[in-house]
Amino acid sequence: MSELYVENPLEFWCNNYGMSSADVVFLGVPFDGTSTGRVGSREAPNEIRKMSYNLETFSKYNKRDLSKLKMLDYGNLIVVPGDTDKTLDRLEKTVKELKEKFPVVIGGEHIITLPVVKMMLKQHPNLKVIQFDAHMDLKDEYIENNYSHVTVMRRISEIIGDGRIIQVGTRSFDPEEKEYAKKHTITKTPANLLDYAVKGPVYITVDMDVFDPAIAPGVSTPAPGGMSFTEYVELINKLSEKLEVVGFDVVETCPPHDDASMTSLLAAEVVKETILAFRK
Ligand SMILES: [Mn+2]
């Protein structure tokens, strides 16, 4: 039917391969059931897809072209409304199906990182996690909830062990979280990140609130004083010379609070540059 002039506008751009031959696979997770700030990140996967059509596939930073990679948009996870456990279980099973692929998971809120890391850890027992985030997300519980976007890195820390998380851009946390980070050798915002010997497989989670609200206002919990886009891209391109990245996610974009979709646009750029940096 290729002679028909039709397209599905809600596929991430560069969606050009079938599952068997695709290398990079997008998965949207429209879940915001535990959001404590502004809700609406469930709308992000489709909004980011929409904004992706504004981008050039070529990167001036990386000097490579996204359209040369084998990519597939796998669609959105069907979440179980109001049920975090069942949703996370579905996500874990779905990520399992993507074995051998390079997953790019688009939230949704930050708790969705947990089942993805769980699954990746089964494939890569030495997995480390680099977290770009304004918040540490290391609280043990929040309003009687242990599985929430503010506890996600605590749960991940418990399953992957000490010294395996590096946090970049964190600037909003309480003393208890800081104490936990110290005790479990979670490294915070190392200025000398490039000197860290991060050997072995790495998973990256990008909470969009790591960026300054001036360029990313549409997130659930904005925090002033964040990174610029250029700082992020330059950092990941330097890291790409050293790191073996096995997948990443981009979470917490909140379209109902996003002026002119600028945060979704930024998220689409972050997806593009992060793929190009780590998938040769
Ligand atoms: Mn977060």
Task: Count Cβ atoms within 10 A of the Cβ of residue 246 and give its class: 0-12 exposed, 13-18 middle, 19 or more buried.
Answer: middle
Q: Quick one: CA torsion of 8, 11, 17, 18, rounded to 10 degrees? A: -80
User: What's the gap in Å between 33 CA and the centre of ligand 1?
Assistant: 14
Asked if the structure places residue 9 within a domain, the reply is no
Q: Give the total number of structural domains in the chain.
A: 1
Predicted pLDDT of residue 18 = 82
Query: Is the distance from CB of 264 to CB of 243 less than 8 angstroms?
Result: no
Predicted pLDDT of residue 16 = 73
Asked if the structure places residue 120 within a domain, the reply is yes
Q: How far apart are the first and last CA of the chain?
A: 32
Output the six-digit token pair for 50. Answer: 């929409």
pLDDT (tens digit per residue) in 80-96: 999 999 999 999 999 99
User: What's the gap in Å between 20 CA and the centre of ligand 1?
Assistant: 33
Asked if the structure places residue 4 within a domain, the reply is no
Predicted pLDDT of residue 196 = 62
Predicted pLDDT of residue 2 = 54
Asked if the structure places residue 3 within a domain, the reply is no
User: What's the gap in Å between 137 CA and the centre of ligand 1?
Assistant: 6
User: What's the gap in Å between 8 CA and the centre of ligand 1?
Assistant: 31
Predicted pLDDT of residue 13 = 78
User: What's the gap in Å between 133 CA and the centre of ligand 1?
Assistant: 5
Predicted pLDDT of residue 100 = 85
User: What's the gap in Å between 253 CA and the centre of ligand 1?
Assistant: 11
Predicted pLDDT of residue 148 = 94
User: What's the gap in Å between 118 CA and the centre of ligand 1?
Assistant: 17
User: What's the gap in Å between 31 CA and the centre of ligand 1?
Assistant: 14
Give Cα 8 to chain centroid, integer Å. 24
User: What's the gap in Å between 166 CA and the centre of ligand 1?
Assistant: 13
Predicted pLDDT of residue 207 = 98
* Nearest to 62, CA basis, from 280, 276, 279: 276
Output the domain CATH number for residue 143: 3.40.800.10
Q: Report, as ranges of residue numbers, the positions in the chain whose pLDDT lies below 70.
A: 1-3, 6-9, 188-197
Cα dihedral 6, 273, 24, 67 sign: positive
Predicted pLDDT of residue 71 = 92
Asked if the structure places residue 10 within a domain, the reply is no
Domain containing 95 equals: 24-278
Q: What backbone phi and psi angles, to 5 degrees, belong to 196? A: -70, 135
Asked if the structure places residue 16 within a domain, the reply is no
Asked if the structure places residue 175 within a domain, the reply is yes
pLDDT (tens digit per residue) in 139-154: 999 999 999 999 999 9
CA pair distance 1, 5, nearest whole angstrom: 9
User: What's the gap in Å between 63 CA and the centre of ligand 1?
Assistant: 30
User: What's the gap in Å between 34 CA and the centre of ligand 1?
Assistant: 12
Asked if the structure places residue 156 within a domain, the reply is yes
User: What's the gap in Å between 135 CA and the centre of ligand 1?
Assistant: 6
User: What's the gap in Å between 131 CA and the centre of ligand 1?
Assistant: 8
